[in-house]
Amino acid sequence: MARLTISPSPQTFFPQTFLTKAYETAILTTTAGNFVTKAFFKEHVQFMRKALEEARKAGKQGEVPVGAILIDHDRNILSKGRNECIRHNDPTAHAEIVAIRKAARLSKNYRLLDTTLYVTIEPCLMCAGAILQARIKKLVFGTFEPKGGVFGSLYNVADDIRFNHKIKVISGILAEECRNLMQDFFLNRRCGEVPKWP
């Protein structure tokens, strides 16, 4: 399966800068040997920035700052989502699930074929299940989540050949920005600037 990883592995945490001159001029190679260009990378950056906007909105509401954007094959935005677990007292209201539910209602179809999901943080096991059930074609995420991510951290759903749906995965788009947003949120929460949850 072709999987492009621009960020470091989940075990590696050191400062990175994306959209540097090196990335602007580089031709990136996937593990399957496919080549992607600067235009390919910038397109993902464009949608990841929109996901980051949703993540920031979640953070301002006291939610864990995770945002998601779902687009169709024509690159039209179908839906947006952000964490709303506290707001709705719903442990399943992760950004990915919110975006998937909205898109399914809009399309009147529980299968979201030929779509791409952008999310700021590596999805958890619950969200991975929803992604597979919705038959989403491609997942693009920002930074790894070593404590709960299942697309390279704790486990890799995409590489498990037992599933009957295969999803393409790209990681590391605006990874530093996505990671910093999470780290700042929890730092502020420890300092009392963000109210602690009940």
Nearest to 106 by CA among 137, 142, 74, 80: 80
Task: Evaluate whether 78 touches 103 at the Cβ level (below 8 Å).
Answer: yes
Tokens representing residue 102 in the block: 């909205």
Cα three-residue angle 187-182-106, rounded to 5 degrees: 145
Spatial distance between the Cα atoms of 104 and 195, rounded to a whole number of angstroms = 33
Label residue 25 left, alpha or beta by phi (over 0 means left) and psi (-120 to 50 means alpha).
alpha
Catalytic, out of 96, 122, 145, 177: 96
Let me know if 96 is a catalytic residue: yes
140/128 Cα distance (integer angstroms)? 12
Which residues are marked as active site?
Answer: 96
